[in-house]
Amino acid sequence: MGAIGSRSSSDGPGTGAGSGRGPARNEVPEVAERLARLSAVDPGPHRVVTCYLKLEPRDRSRGKYLIKLKNRVRSVARALPRLGLARSVQEEVARDLERIQEYLRNPANLPSTQGLAIFACEGIGLFEAMPLPVVHRSRLGLDRAPLVRELASVEDEFGRLLTVVLDRTGARFFEVTAYGCRELPGLRADSTRGSRFHGDQSGPGGWGEHTYHNRIREEKQRHYEAIARELFAIDRRQPAHGIVIGATGPDAAAVEPFLHSYLVERVIGTTRLNPKEATPPLVHAATLVVRQAWERNEEREVVHEMREGVGSGWAINGIDRTLRALARGQIRTLLVHADAGEPGFRCGTSGRLARTERECRHEGEPIPVLDVVDDAIEEALRQGVDVNVVYEPKAREEVDGLAGLLRFR
């Protein structure tokens, strides 16, 4: 995972420490250190632009990420006058938006990861870009401080995954986290040596061939059992959030029946990997792809749960109702339509998000915000709520902008 360093605003985008040169790919960046530095930023009268960008393969295809970014930049530019900012601050923000676009036009600045976060504020010389393994959705925010809650939550939300890559001769185990992958001790299998059984050595009745195939079958079973025991032992030392099984043939599916039921529940998928060619970066990338497919399936399930919950009163659907429940701390899982967006307000006294000024009556002066959906994601992260941005086409059409599963009614 390539890391992109920070630089002052005097460096042109695509130059200096932010040009994409840095640690080798898949190296763990000093996330905590950079997060602490960003959290301490005090822009004074200025505003910080925060950009989270999805860079999955479909987003990179034909520069789709740039098209989406341009649309969001135009929306922010149109909304700037209603935010009540001084003209000089608006002009700084416009230049920061242009710097972000210029930086992203250079393919060399894109990390190998599936997400990127950029924080920019011309007034204090801030321009920091950080690769991320995943982001909830592409969004642009404007605030008095960098919006770092998603950055801070990535590692916890991603969790710790175990990926095993096997063939007939052995198995290699990898610990995969949001920012990296490291190999654990592996296994060698007891395997029959020599060529395949030849008919002229079979003896009467062909029992030599029968014995040979039985021995091969028993060796495979012992090998799968050894892999299952090792996965269980690794998990006992430090529980994993999910398990991925990799192989070049049918071995990936063949291992699962040997796993303890406790582990079977956490198998999130299989992938095609050759243990003789697997490297930590390759395993990390393959595991991310499996995790992404698993997430699409989880989206369908959580949307189904939401539909069922609406009828029983344990879920809500719709932006207005969800924003009110979020303000009351009722939401345990926030569902977000991937393409939803609405301008709105934050009530000055209560801090509640609302789509109209009228909703803030008796709750303080309404403060305009660029997008209540993006701000709802930020608020949910602040509360420690599970955030699910729904991309699966059929599932997302069931979400009326925002929806939620409730902690209490």
Domain containing 338 — which CATH number? 3.30.1330.30
Residues in the chain where the model's pLDDT stays below 50 = 1-28, 194-195, 197-203, 205
Are 274 and 168 in a shared domain? yes
Q: Are residues 44 and 31 in the same domain?
A: yes
**Strand ordering across the sheet containing 267-272:** 180-188, 170-177, 161-167, 242-247, 267-272
223: containing domain: 159-278
185: burial class by Cβ within 10 Å (0-12, 13-18, 19+)?
exposed
Kindly state whether residue 204 falls inside one of the protein's structural domains.
Answer: yes
**Same domain assignment for residues 375 and 395:** yes
Residue 283 counted as domain residue: no
Exposure class string for 301-318: b at 16+ Cβ within 10 A, else e: ebbeebeebbeeebbbbe
24 domain residue, yes or no? yes
Sheet holding 6-7, edge to edge: 6-7, 126-132, 115-121, 48-54, 139-143
Confidence at residue 16, expressed as pLDDT on a 0 to 100 scale:
33
Q: In terms of domains, do 145 and 166 share one?
A: no
Q: Looking at the domain assignment, is residue 151 inside a domain?
A: yes
Q: Give residue 90's pLDDT.
A: 93
The domain total for the chain is 3
- 235/119 same-domain check: no
Classify residue 224: in a domain, yes or no: yes
E-strand ranges in 338-397 read 344-347, 353-354, 366-369, 386-390
pLDDT at res. 87: 93
Phi, psi dihedrals of residue 23, rounded to the nearest 5°? -60, 160
Does 66 share its domain with 149? yes
Give every CB contact of residue 360 below 8 A, 6+ residues apart in sequence: 345, 347, 348, 350, 352, 354, 366
The answer as to whether 83 is a domain residue is yes
How high is the mean pLDDT of the chain? 85
Last residue of a domain, one of 142, 157, 172: 157
- 88 and 219 in a single domain? The answer is no
- Measured from the Cβ of residue 260, the count of other Cβ atoms closer than 10 Å reads 12
Instruction: Please tell me whether residues 325 and 236 are part of one structural domain.
Output: no
Boundary (domain end) residue, out of 224, 248, 278: 278
pLDDT tens digit sequence for 120-172: 999 999 999 999 888 899 999 999 999 999 988 888 888 899 999 998 889 99
In a domain, 106, yes or no: yes
- Please enumerate in sequence order all residues whose Cβ is within 8 A of that of 396, keeping only pairs 6 or more positions apart, or say none: 299, 303, 337, 338, 339, 390
Does 165 share its domain with 136? Answer: no
Q: What is the pLDDT of residue 4?
A: 26
Same-domain pairing of 105 and 11: yes
Number of residues that make up the chain: 409
Whether 10 and 120 map to the same domain: the answer is: yes
Per-residue HEC secondary structure of 129-177 comes to: EEEECCCCCCEEEEECCCCCHHHHHHHHHHCCEEEEEEECCEEEEEEEE
Tell me: do 123 and 170 sit in the same domain.
Answer: no
Choose one of 157, 174, 189: the last residue of a domain: 157
**The pLDDT of residue 208:** 67
Q: Is residue 287 part of a domain?
A: no
Are the C-beta atoms of 71 and 153 separated by less than 8 Å? no
